[in-house]
Amino acid sequence: MTHFLVTGTAGFIGFHLARRLLADGHTVTGFDGMTPYYDVRLKAQRLALLEPHDGFRQVTGRLEDRAALDAAAALKEPDVILHLAAQAGVRYSLENPGAYVESNLVGSWNVLELARALQPKHLLLASTSSIYGANEKVPFAEADRADEPMTLYAASKKSMELMAHSYAHLYGVPTTAFRFFTVYGPWGRPDMAPIKFSDAILSGRPIDVYGEGGMSRDFTYIDDIVEAIVRLVDVVPREDGRVTAPGIIDTLSAGAPFRTVNIGGGQPVGLMTFIETIEKALGRPATRNYMPMQPGDVPRTFASTDLLTHLTGFVPRVSLEDGIAAFAAWYREWRAH
Ligand SMILES: NC(=O)c1ccc[n+]([C@@H]2O[C@H](COP(=O)([O-])OP(=O)(O)OC[C@H]3O[C@@H](n4cnc5c(N)ncnc54)[C@H](O)[C@@H]3O)[C@@H](O)[C@H]2O)c1
């Protein structure tokens, strides 16, 4: 049994991850600031599903508050820290850049300081496919250049990776940063396309189709993300642990026990196909309102999953059709309450 400190447990991915860890017989201290970026009632509902577990304790606090983080860690010293709390969202970073500096830079730095003090077996951090910017080479591989972020969200996540590398080098905590690609599923985020589109379709409102429908995204079902994370927990980066195999470029740093790994579906889907899949799952047509690309949007994302598969043996497996069907079933029921 392992004790985990998971930040972002009231959030979409952190909630699913904590639930899985508890189901696997581990114990979890959750930490979340319940920020009002989207409806906090949804966050409270997620937490209410975690709270009955004996092995779960939740601390409400902000990452920027080091004393609150210390208090969470003091409940029971974690063997592993999973840092998922963040100010997420690409578009909101144009409206409120300060939130990204506070949560993703200052907040993540506090998590690094905590890890430096506690020396857990493994520190794992949530980064994003957004750091690949408008790269044209696909699929996006971890070793590709990712130095041209298009938004402060992407810049803050890349900066977190860089800060974490320096701490891994200086203080030796083995660290993995995973780069998630557009995650969706039940209990998802209301600011993302599946809920935004479904809400509009079921309310009879038109949906805004940005980029004139020409964008594509590598959608990743939540269960695949969680499975990949759980497996990566056991793949602890060691400075002498570089993997070698034909065609695989390990991102293990030459100067630190630090690695970046993509977690994506590996099968990008055009926005129009995505909309058709939602229409089919909901059994209702959408009215499309075509719009230009929004500032900061990238035309495509597409994950290379070779390194993930090499390190963990896992290939993301849920098709968009199955994943959206599961999402739509949850959403219909959730919306009715
Ligand atoms: N969902 C995706 O498609 C996606 C893609 C790439 C990366 N990510 C990253 O994965 C992680 C989880 O994303 P998610 O989709 O679950 O987002 P989410 O917004 O649902 O969850 C994040 C949680 O962090 C909490 N939080 C935010 N700022 C905080 C702070 N300063 N102090 C304490 N708590 C704070 C929020 O209250 C929220 O519950 C984030 O780091 C995000 O950037 C998500």
Based on the fold, state whether residues 164 and 281 are members of the same structural domain: no
Based on the fold, state whether residues 98 and 191 are members of the same structural domain: no
Q: Is residue 284 part of a domain?
A: yes
Joined together, the tokens standing for residue 43 give 């966050």
Q: What lines the ligand 1 site, CB under 6 Å?
A: 8, 10-14, 32-35, 43, 62-64, 84-88, 103, 107, 126, 128, 180, 182-183, 189
Q: Is residue 310 part of a domain?
A: no
Q: Is residue 307 part of a domain?
A: no
In the set 153, 167, 210, 221, the catalytic residue is 153
Q: Is residue 126 part of a domain?
A: yes
**Domain count for the chain:** 2
Whether 153 sits among the annotated catalytic residues: the reply is yes
Based on the fold, state whether residues 331 and 241 are members of the same structural domain: no
Greatest alpha-carbon span in the chain: 57
Based on the fold, state whether residues 324 and 228 are members of the same structural domain: no
- Using alpha carbons, list the distances in angstroms from residue 153 to 107, 139, 176: 14, 21, 19
Residue 80 sits in a domain whose CATH number is: 3.40.50.720
User: Ligand 1 mean position to 89 CA, how many Å?
Assistant: 8
Joined together, the tokens standing for residue 20 give 């899985």
Tens digits of residue pLDDT in 211-231: 999 999 999 999 999 999 999
Residue 298 sits in a domain whose CATH number is: 3.90.25.10
Based on the fold, state whether residues 230 and 257 are members of the same structural domain: yes
Based on the fold, state whether residues 137 and 231 are members of the same structural domain: yes
Q: Is residue 294 part of a domain?
A: yes
Atom in ligand 1 nearest the alpha carbon of residue 102:
31
What pLDDT does 150 receive?
A: 96
- Structural domain of 118: 3-183+219-263
Based on the fold, state whether residues 233 and 85 are members of the same structural domain: yes
Tens digits of residue pLDDT in 304-314: 999 999 999 99
User: Ligand 1 mean position to 87 CA, how many Å?
Assistant: 6
Based on the fold, state whether residues 116 and 148 are members of the same structural domain: yes
Based on the fold, state whether residues 274 and 330 are members of the same structural domain: yes
pTM of the model: 0.98
Tens digits of residue pLDDT in 26-48: 999 999 999 999 999 999 999 99
- Nearest alpha-carbon partner for 325 in 194, 216, 204, 209: 194
User: Ligand 1 mean position to 245 CA, how many Å?
Assistant: 34
Q: Is residue 72 part of a domain?
A: yes
Based on the fold, state whether residues 278 and 247 are members of the same structural domain: no
Based on the fold, state whether residues 20 and 54 are members of the same structural domain: yes
Ligand 1, atom 13: closest residue by C-alpha: 13
Q: Is residue 313 part of a domain?
A: no
Based on the fold, state whether residues 9 and 43 are members of the same structural domain: yes
Q: Is residue 290 part of a domain?
A: yes
User: Does residue 240 surpass a pLDDT of 90?
Assistant: no
DSSP 242-305: ---BTTB-----SSSSEEEEEE--S--EEHHHHHHHHHHHHTSPPPEEE-PPPTT--SB--B--
Residues 6 or more apart whose CB falls under 8 angstroms from that of 129 comprise 140, 179, 180, 181, 182, 218, 262, 264, 301, 303
Joined together, the tokens standing for residue 29 give 């201290």
User: Ligand 1 mean position to 84 CA, how many Å?
Assistant: 6
Tens digits of residue pLDDT in 245-295: 998 999 999 999 999 999 999 999 999 999 999 999 999 999 999 999 999
Name the E strands within the chain: 3-7, 27-32, 56-60, 80-83, 122-128, 175-180, 183-184, 207-209, 216-217, 220-221, 258-263, 269-270, 288-290
